[in-house]
Amino acid sequence: MDLRNFIPFIPPFERPPAAKRSAVVALGGGGARGLAHLGVMEVLAQTRVRPERFVGVSIGALVGALCALDSNVHHVRDKVLGFLSSPSFQHHQQHLFGSAGVTEDTATSGIMAWYDRAKNLYSAHRRLTRAVTQISLMPEAILTASIDELVPDVEFSDLPMPLSIVAADLRSGHRVVLETGSVRSAIHASMALPGIFPPVEHDGMLLCDIGVVDSIPTCVASSYATDLTIVVDIGQHNARMEKFETALDIMMRMQDIGEQILRREKTELADIHIRPELADVSWFDFQNPEEIIERGRSAAWEELSRHSIFRVDSPAEKAPADEEPETSPIENVRFR
């Protein structure tokens, strides 16, 4: 029985508005698979969750910077798609892979995927000569030109949204979190794939992409989170391998295995773990950007729908007021 039918002065019941949540969003590395980040961000923009900081590694650093600069992810998506179809990007791709004889029939994943492609960049003689006489297989201009096309020349302090970019310092062996100075320079450092692009001199450090061993910045992100930590993992599954022809094959495979194990352990620190299905997408494959973005959307909808805090029709679940959020200590890290 509804008493309002008999007592007219009782005001109609109104459900309280669902509480908004905040999140630190960690965007992992993975080359072209990073386009899936855009699909995830599109879905996240339709929820009650407000990003309070982006933390990025490699391609995640680039996407994080773009989202920190412009909160309208549709604008960001259109900008990226426009760049991918531009003559300048096509020229860079031709420079990277035009003479490589790149094939698509590989079963490798993670670090082994880019390693296999790198092996095909040049003939055996030219590849060996460059590898033992120069610091990288490719010039830095290819990387910097792409970053400059997408990101304006701004400082971290100019960003509307806080941003942390993670890289590795070859000299000290530390993980480095960049939060001051040039955003372009920080992205460049985080995307400088070891051996492929030269490392970046920065404030006495020699920085490169840490993603080949630590591809999702969960520890850094969780240390900032006041509410939620959301991790977007765009790594590939650890595919089985049967043949190992050289000592280098074995060493690279072990590095791949180590990265996979570390990635699984890091995801346990996150409140929400979104992992698009990208096993068949190579790190350099920008052929179907819309499809990769859509895979990010699908994975985000599937994962977020499991959490009642994201349902618009239900109140958010709050932790008791006397409970402090847990943060994990970050070892071997320097903040700059």
CA distances from 5 to 8, 11, 14, 16 (A): 7, 11, 16, 22
- Find where tokens 């990010």 sit: 296
Pick the catalytic residue: 58, 164, 223, 282? 58
Q: Give the Cα separation of 33 and 291 in Å (integer).
A: 10
Pick the catalytic residue: 146, 164, 169, 209? 209
For the chain, the C-alpha Rg in angstroms (whole number) is 22
Q: Give the Cβ contact number of residue 289 at 10 Å.
A: 19
Mark residue 229 as left, alpha or beta (left: phi above 0; alpha: psi -120 to 50; beta: remaining): beta
Residue 209 known to be catalytic:
yes
- Which amino acid makes up residue 226? T
Nearest to 60 by CA among 164, 194, 177: 164
SS3 assignment, position 212: coil
Which two structure tokens, joined as six digits, stand for 290? 């819309």
Active-site residue list: 58, 209
